[in-house]
A = this chain, B = another copy of it.
Amino acid sequence: MNEQLHIENQLCFRLYKLNKSITKLYAPLLKEAGLTYPQYLVMLVLWQDEKAKTIKDIGAILELDSGTLSPLLKRMEKLDLIKRTRSTLDERSVAIELTAHGKEIKNKAKFIPAKLFMLTGLTKVELTQLQQDLDELLSNTNQHLK
Contacts and interface: CB of A to CB of B under 8 A. Distances in A.
A11 B4 contact: no
B25 A141 contact: yes
Contacts of A9: 113, 131
A135 interface: yes
Interface stretch (A69-77, A81-89, A95-103, A114-122): A114-122
A94 interface: no
B5 A109 contact: yes
B12 A23 contact: yes
A24 B130 contact: no
Q: How many copies does the complex hold?
A: 2
Contact of A144 (B4, B119, B122, B138): B119
10 contacts: A1-B48, A7-B41, A7-B44, A11-B131, A15-B18, A15-B19, A19-B19, A24-B145, A121-B137, A122-B137
Interface of A: 1-2, 4-7, 9-26, 37, 41, 44-45, 47-49, 61, 63, 106, 109-110, 112-114, 116, 119-122, 126-127, 130-131, 133-135, 137-138, 140-145
